[in-house]
């Protein structure tokens, strides 16, 4: 098999073209063909005034393609920092992060931004939806920004809303949606680029338990049916129990891991 093909998702030729144009020079190592995410001894220190905060003190973690991994641990232990570093939102001070064979540190800022936009989706606790835009306009925004023509963007955004069972409410603005519906819009927006990986930072943290369960079911379905890899930061043990693996952090390090299935 052409090694570059391993960078792409199994499904579409369109995506193969997109991804291989994104990363023409990248080579896939043998290890990277199984693990889509490779985090190796990552260190991250924040300068806060005169103080240094060692948020990550040497974290290593591999995630297989199609896995659903929960990251748990007390507030301030470094979960969000790990997500931000692993997704290329933030840079690390030490160690290495490889996503689908691409070493994030070796990509230029521009290439990394494109790589993230094309291969990753993000779901946060707060919905981050623009209040003046309708649901469908919020979902299509990343496509418009990355240059997809408006008609195609609209079609794909509606499709993504269909996936989260919200097509009927496509023209509602966020204020006209419930918390759970807003989080569905957020998930639709994360999916609209057909990413390989979805990073979710406490996606159910602001939802009641019934709605949280619905959102988790939706993510499980996407994981099962589309093979999406999920990394989910959560405080909710019920969410953790439904993931393939729970990784526990404390004070900037991983302290334990347990596999479920
Ligand atoms: P968690 O998501 O597990 O609650 P974070 O990753 O947000 O933890 O934070 C880890 C540590 O890094 C905390 O001590 C936090 O105060 C600190 N921290 C996070 N972001 C910054 C920042 N931008 N500047 C300074 N310190 C930060
Ligand atoms: Mg956090």
Supply the pLDDT for residue 30. Answer: 47
Each residue's pLDDT tens digit, 156-196: 999 999 989 999 999 999 999 999 999 999 999 998 988 99
> What are the φ and ψ backbone dihedral angles of 129, each rounded to 5 degrees?
-95, 145
122 strand-pairing partners: 199
The two tokens of residue 28 are 């896939």
Residue among 138, 141, 182 at smallest CA distance from 164: 182
Q: Is the pLDDT of residue 261 over 90?
A: no
Each residue's pLDDT tens digit, 115-140: 888 899 999 877 789 999 999 999 99
Give me ligand 2 centre to Cα 102, in Å: 25
Q: Which domain holds residue 56?
A: 14-259
Each residue's pLDDT tens digit, 71-120: 999 999 999 999 999 999 999 999 999 999 999 999 999 899 888 888 99
Per-chain mean pLDDT for the chain: 87
* 90 domain residue, yes or no: yes
Q: What global pTM score does this model have?
A: 0.85
Number of domains in the chain: 1
Q: Where are the beta strands (DSSP E) in the chain?
A: 35-48, 51-64, 68-72, 94-99, 102-103, 120-124, 197-201, 229-233, 245-250, 253-259
Supply the pLDDT for residue 8. Answer: 36
The CATH number given to whatever domain includes residue 176 is: 3.40.50.300
Q: Is the CB of 143 under 6 A from ligand 1?
A: no
* 4 domain residue, yes or no: no
Give me ligand 2 centre to Cα 180, in Å: 20
Q: Is the pLDDT of residue 33 over 90?
A: no
164, 185 in Cβ contact below 8 A?
Answer: yes
Supply the pLDDT for residue 194. Answer: 84
* 37 domain residue, yes or no: yes
């Amino acid at each position: 098999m052409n090694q570059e093909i391993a960078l792409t998702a199994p499904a579409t030729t369109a995506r193969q073209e997109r991804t291989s144009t994104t990363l023409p020079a990248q080579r896939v190592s043998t290890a990277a063909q199984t693990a889509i995410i490779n985090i190796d001894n990552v260190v991250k220190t924040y300068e806060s005034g005169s103080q240094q905060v060692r948020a990550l003190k040497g974290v290593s973690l591999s995630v297989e393609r199609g896995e659903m991994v929960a990251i748990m641990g007390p507030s301030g232990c470094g979960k969000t920092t790990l997500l931000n570093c692993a997704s290329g939102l933030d840079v690390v001070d030490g160690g290495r992060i490889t996503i689908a064979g691409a070493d994030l540190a070796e990509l230029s800022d521009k290439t990394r931004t494109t790589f993230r936009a094309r291969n990753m989706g993000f779901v946060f606790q707060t919905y981050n939806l623009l209040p003046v835009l309708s649901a469908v306009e919020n979902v299509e925004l990343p496509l418009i920004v990355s240059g997809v023509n408006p008609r195609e963007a609209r079609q794909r955004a509606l499709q993504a809303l269909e996936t989260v069972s919200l097509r009927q409410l496509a023209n509602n603005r966020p204020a006209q949606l419930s918390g759970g519906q807003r989080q569905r819009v957020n998930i639709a927006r994360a999916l609209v680029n057909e990413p390989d990986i979805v990073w979710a930072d406490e996606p159910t943290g602001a939802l009641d338990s019934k709605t949280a369960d619905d959102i988790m079911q939706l993510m499980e379905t996407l994981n099962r049916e589309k093979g999406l890899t999920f990394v989910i930061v959560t405080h909710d043990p019920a969410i953790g129990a439904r993931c393939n693996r729970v990784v526990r952090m404390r004070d900037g390090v991983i302290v334990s891991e347990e596999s479920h299935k």
